[in-house]
Structure formats: C-alpha cells, structure tokens
C-alpha cells in the first residue's frame, strides 16, 4: 500500500536563516500550494500539467495579505525525490513566515511529515533501496571526510548491487533445489552440489569480509574513541583542551581534579576522533573519586587508542606498571605521552625517553601547556586510523551488521549440510534464511510498517 496523504515539513534547520525550504509531497501537493500561491507572471497556474521541474516566482497569500515572496519548485511524479508530486517552497528564513506557510498548508489538506517520511516514501516508491535510504541519513549526519565518503558510496548503490547479486545467485540455487523436491520420486539433481558449495564458500568470504569492516565503519561514523589515561595531575585535561582547541575540562594543580569522564569530538586528518578525558588513577579512599577511577578503566577498555599521559617532572609510573594496568587487546593501540617537557632540563630527556621506549611502544614528548610536540602526537593519532581503500565497501550500520551475522550463520549451515550430504529440503531452508537476511539489508525482504518506522525514526523531520 502506497501512502496517499500529502505531507509537509520545513526541510532546512529550525530557527532563523537567510532562506528556508518547505517541502510538500503527495497527491495534493500541487493543488494545495496552488491555493496559497499567486505567481507574479500572469497566466501561469501550478496545476497546469506543463508546469514541471520549474521554478516559479510569486507570493504566498493569506486572506489577501502577502505573507512572503517565494520561489516555488514543482516536480511531478515520478520525477521527484519521493517519486510523488512534490513542491518545494523557498521562503525567507523567518520562523514566523515558516509557521504561517505550514499553517496554510495544513488548512489545505496536508499533514505534518514524521521524521524521515520523505525518504521513507522514496523507498516505498522504489526510488531508493533501504540501504541507500539509510545512507541519506548518514550523509546528512557525516561530520568528516571519511564518513562522507562512506555514506556517499552506500547511497550511490554500489553497496546494494553487491548484495543483490549474492542474493540472486542464491535464489537460483534455492529454486533449483525446490524443483528437485517436486521430483523427489525420480532422484534427479537439478542443482549441482559442487557449484553450490563453491558459491556458498564465496558468499561466506564476502560476508565475513563485510562483517569484519564493521569495526572500521563504526568508528569512522561515530569517531575513533581515544581515552586519555594517567595518574592524577599528569596533564590529561590540559591535553584534552589542547586537542579540542577549547577549554572543555577544568585544569588545576590539585590532584584528582577530574572526577567524571569528559568526551568530545574533533576532526583531524579528515577523520572524526572522540577524545575521552578521565579521572586520574591513584590510590584514594574518596568514594566518589574511586567511582571515577572505575569509570576510567571502563573507558580504557572501550577505547581504540589509549593515550597514557606521564608527568616528566614527577617520579613517573614505570612502563611495566602501565602495561599491567592497560590489558591491551589486539585491536587497541597504546601511545605513551611524556608531558610537561617544558619543565624538564633538556639533558634529562633522553634517559627518560629511553626508559619508556624500551617496551617498544609509541612514545611522544609534548608540553600540553605550550603545545610543543602536538604536531607529532596528531601525526601518530592519524596513523592509527584503519586504512581503507577508495572503493572498499564498508559496513557502518548496526542493522546491516546484524543481518550479515545471521546470514553468515545460515551460509555456514548450508556448507555443513552440503559437506555432510544433508537432505535437499534441509539445505534449502538455510539457503532461504541466508537470502532472507541479505534481503533485509536492501529492504527487499522487509514489509512491515513497524520495522520501517524504526529505521526512519532516526532521521530528521523534513528529510
């Protein structure tokens, strides 16, 4: 069932701006706008079928009073973003004008759009598949060059066509095997088991590679989590402020200043980083401080990169103690940041540096206060970014990742069934399950309103 109501919303950010765009989509879009709009040039009517993909200058009028001078763009179905008749009114960006125009539209039979409803309609009308529609959301939210590239690739459809191909190959086999079942008396084999096995193995490889890219995709989208860890007073909050170029965290010479984790993001080298300043680690009896320190260890576990800040002027924690406390996993990287270099006599530096480098870990010498050495630290951080090629397909959507995980289980079952000579009807069930899961990604297999509403819920209104 395709939606028949006509929806409207302001598609530009809320508040005051130079201009604002109000979008209207649905059967009544053109007629509704025609009721409130008077073109400046005589003899034109929006409802005239020859008016399409055109911009028309005129006035929005309410009870003979001009509300605003606007430009109206008319798109006729199916040549529009949603696939329906669509009008975009570009008005002056005053919140009052926007509200007045919306009220006129509501009075003319339109209703307010829900979040993502324009894109949802584009999907329902076959303008985009589901993964492309989701990429529109990611594109709007992209805050770094890497996230932008990933969303753009998904929107262009390269991503979807790959799933569609895998799904088609599997469908072919499922059909063949089902045909066999119809002829089960005669013991014929339409589906070549060896070919199916090789296809299943190929699909398993592709799925596993894609699932493997999720860790990368996820951090590119949400920011690479970098935890700033160390003893109290080492200069962690000073370093956070320096990395973010703003006074985000309180700095003081009192030990235990930071009690709670403080996070913020910044783009460096085209990639989004999420820096997390934490409570300094020390022995304390203070209950609140202990809670903060517990949180520090949690943040450390979740981080992709750990910046362990060491005060060069202090006695300094020994490298062995750091390794003991960090429990690095295979995917985590540790950078030792030797701070307050400005206060250390230069002749003492080589010895300190050598001591920390002995563990073959990355060591950077900085002064968070003066900014010296920050360029080296930023270089090291950028080097931590997982390498991705221009055309790599990367999964960044949790929903897709979950479908891939289930598809992977199903395809493993297919392979096991083929290897052990399981009966065709059992194998075909697993093939169908795999097809179903791959179809979830592009939306071919999703038919319920509720699932769709959930997916589009995270969009902004007007998109």
Return the residue of 23, 221, 236, 299 that touches ligand GTP, per CB under 6 A.
Answer: 236
Q: Does 237 bind Mg ion (CB under 5 A)?
A: yes
Out of 251, 317, 336, 403, the only residue in the binding site for ligand GTP (CB under 6 A) is 251
**Secondary structure (3-state) at 398:** helix
Q: Of 208, 257, 333, 353, which lies in the binding site for Mg ion, with binding defined by CB under 5 A?
A: 257
Q: Report the DSSP pairing between strands 37-39 and 111-112.
A: unpaired
**Residue owning tokens 């965290």:** 249
Residues 6+ apart with CB under 8 A from 266: 243, 244, 245, 272, 273, 275
Asked if residue 242 binds ligand GTP (CB under 6 A), the reply is: no
Of 77-85, 97-105, 163-171, 228-236, the window that binds ligand GTP (rule: CB under 6 A) is 228-236
Query: Nearest to residue 279, comparing CAs of 264, 265, 300?
Result: 300
| All residues at 6 or more sequence positions from 78 whose CB lies less than 8 Å from its CB, including other chains | 84, 125, 127
Q: Are 433 and 410 in contact (CB under 8 A)?
A: yes
What is the DSSP-derived secondary structure letter of residue 347? Answer: G
Task: For residues 87 and 89, give the distance between their C-alpha atoms in angstroms, rounded to a whole number.
Answer: 6
Task: Answer yes or no whether residue 369 interacts with Mg ion by CB under 5 A.
Answer: no
How near is the Cβ of 111 to ligand GTP at its closest, in Å? 52
Tokens of 220: 């590119």
Please tell me whether residue 234 binds ligand GTP under the rule CB under 6 A.
yes
Select from Mg ion, ligand GTP, none the partner in contact with residue 80, using the beta carbon and a kind-dependent cut-off of 5 to 8 Å: none
55: Cα within 13 Å, side-chain hemisphere:
5
Distances from the Cα of 447 to the Cα of 2, 15, 113, 444, 458, angstroms: 12, 36, 21, 8, 19
User: Which of 255/416 has CB closer to ligand GTP?
Assistant: 255
296 scored as a contact of ligand GTP (CB under 6 A): no
Residue closer to Mg ion (CB basis): 86 or 258: 258
Site string for ligand GTP, 343-362 (x = CB under 6 A): x-------------------
Q: Taking the CB of residue 306, how many other CB atoms lie within 10 A of it?
A: 24
Spatial separation of the C-alpha atoms in residues 64 and 68, rounded to whole Å = 12
Q: How many chain residues bind ligand GTP (CB under 6 A)?
A: 23
Residue with tokens 């890219």: 213
CA distance linking residue 232 with residue 285, whole number of Å: 14
Contact segment (CB under 5 A) with Mg ion among 23-31, 68-76, 236-244, 401-409 equals: 236-244
Which is closer to Mg ion, CB of 35 or CB of 257?
A: 257
- The nearer residue to ligand GTP, 127 or 295, going by C-beta atoms, is 295
342 binds ligand GTP (CB under 6 A): yes
Looking at the Cβ atoms of 32 and 338, the one nearer to ligand GTP is 338
Among 216, 237, 326, 396, binds ligand GTP (CB under 6 A): 237
| Contacting ligand GTP within 62-101 (CB under 6 A) | none
State which residue, 132 or 296, has the beta carbon closest to Mg ion: 296
Q: Does 388 bind Mg ion (CB under 5 A)?
A: no
Q: Is 233 in the site for ligand GTP (CB under 6 A)?
A: yes
Identified binder of ligand GTP from the candidate list 23, 121, 340, 400, rule CB under 6 A: 340
Helix ranges (DSSP H) in 265-318? 287-302
Query: And the tokens for 10?
Result: 């302001």
Helix axes 398-419, 193-212, angle to 10 degrees: 150
Rounded to the nearest 10°, the torsion over CA 5, 8, 11, 14 is -130
Question: Looking at 10-18, 101-109, 190-198, 229-237, which segment touches ligand GTP (CB under 6 A)?
Answer: 229-237
Q: Is 368 in the site for ligand GTP (CB under 6 A)?
A: yes
Minimum CB separation of residue 455 from ligand GTP in Å reads 41
d(CA 237, CA 187): 73
Does the footprint of Mg ion cover residue 233 (CB under 5 A)? Answer: no
> Can you give the binding site for ligand GTP, defined by CB under 6 A?
230, 232-238, 251-253, 255-258, 280, 339-340, 342-343, 367-369
> Can you give the binding site for Mg ion, defined by CB under 5 A?
236-237, 257-258
């Amino acid at each position: 069932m395709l939606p028949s109501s006509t929806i409207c919303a302001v598609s530009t950010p809320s508040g005051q701006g130079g201009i604002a765009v109000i979008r209207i989509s649905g059967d009544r879009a053109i007629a509704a706008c025609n009721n409130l709009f008077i073109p400046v040039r005589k003899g034109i009517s929006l409802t005239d079928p020859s008016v399409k993909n055109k911009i028309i200058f005129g006035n929005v009028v309410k009870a003979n009073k001009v509300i605003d001078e606007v430009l109206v763009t008319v798109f006729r179905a199916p040549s529009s973003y949603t696939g329906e008749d669509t009008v975009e009114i570009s008005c002056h960006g005053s919140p009052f004008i926007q509200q007045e125009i919306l009220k006129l539209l509501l009075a003319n039979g339109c209703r307010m759009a829900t979040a993502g409803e324009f894109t949802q309609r584009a999907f329902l009308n076959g303008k985009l598949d589901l993964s492309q529609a989701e990429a529109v959301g990611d594109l709007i939210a992209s805050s770094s060059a890497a996230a932008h590239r990933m969303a753009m690739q998904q929107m262009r459809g390269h991503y979807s066509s790959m799933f569609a191909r895998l799904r088609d190959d599997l469908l072919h086999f499922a059909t063949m095997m089902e045909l066999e079942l119809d002829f089960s008396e005669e013991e014929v084999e339409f589906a070549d088991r060896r070919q199916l096995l090789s296809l299943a193995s190929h699909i398993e490889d592709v799925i596993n590679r894609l699932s493997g890219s999720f860790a990368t995709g996820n951090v590119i989208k949400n920011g690479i989590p970098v935890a700033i860890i160390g003893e109290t007073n080492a200069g962690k909050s000073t370093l956070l402020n320096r990395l973010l170029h703003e006074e985000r965290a309180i700095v003081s010479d009192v030990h235990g200043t930071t009690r709670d984790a403080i996070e913020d993001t910044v783009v460096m080298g085209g990639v989004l980083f999420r820096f997390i300043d934490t409570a300094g680690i020390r022995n304390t009896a203070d209950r609140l401080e202990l809670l903060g320190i517990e949180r520090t260890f949690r943040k450390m576990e979740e981080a992709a990169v750990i910046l362990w800040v060491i005060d060069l002027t202090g006695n300094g924690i020994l490298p062995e103690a750091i390794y003991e406390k960090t429990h690095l996993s295979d995917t985590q990287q540790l950078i030792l940041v030797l701070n307050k270099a400005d206060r250390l006599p230069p002749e003492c530096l080589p010895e300190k540096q050598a001591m920390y480098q002995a563990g073959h870990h990355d060591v950077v010498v900085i002064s968070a206060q003066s900014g010296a050495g920050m360029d080296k630290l930023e270089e090291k951080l950028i080097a931590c970014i997982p390498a991705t090629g221009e055309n790599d397909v990367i999964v960044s959507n949790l929903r897709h990742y979950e479908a891939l995980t289930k598809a992977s289980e199903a395809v493993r079952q297919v392979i096991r069934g083929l290897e052990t000579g399981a009966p065709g009807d059992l194998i075909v069930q697993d093939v169908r399950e795999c097809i179903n899961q791959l179809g979830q990604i592009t939306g071919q297999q999703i038919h319920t309103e509720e699932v769709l509403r959930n997916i589009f819920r995270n969009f902004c209104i007007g998109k």
